[in-house]
Amino acid sequence: MAKWSISDATPLEQALTIAVASLEEGEVVSYGDVAVRAGRPDAPRAAGALLAKSLTSLPWWRVVYASGKLAPCNPTLQKKYLHGEGVVVRDDRVVRSPLGRFAK
């Protein structure tokens, strides 16, 4: 059950949740980008912390490191999902994506 009723969630949690939930297919961004969209450019770690808890209800696989490196917990599954959305991944690293930070 959701310990959070969106009403209890902090503004930062809400903003981060919205930012990630708004990502489209093939749109890959970094934790820092999510933080910026949430209005807290200096809190990329908070973005990662939230994703780690909300990994069931959010498209966490569309968020990677600023360098393109995939998440440290399920890089294999993440690579699988991304590839299915037209994202080019090589050796656990996003090379190019239709949308987002790695779009050409």
Binding-site ranges for DNA (CB under 7 A): 10, 12-13, 30-33, 40, 42-49, 51-52, 55, 60-61, 63, 65-67, 71-74
Nearest alpha-carbon partner for 67 in 27, 41, 33, 98: 33
Nearer Cβ to DNA (60/102)? 60
Residue type at 99 in one-letter notation: L
Nearer Cβ to DNA (73/86)? 73
| Sheet strands side by side (includes 27-30) | 63-64, 27-30, 99-100
> What is the distance between the alpha carbons of residues 16 and 56, in angstroms, rounded to a whole number?
15
* CB 15, min distance to DNA, A: 10
* CB 67, min distance to DNA, A: 7
Nearer Cβ to DNA (2/42)? 42
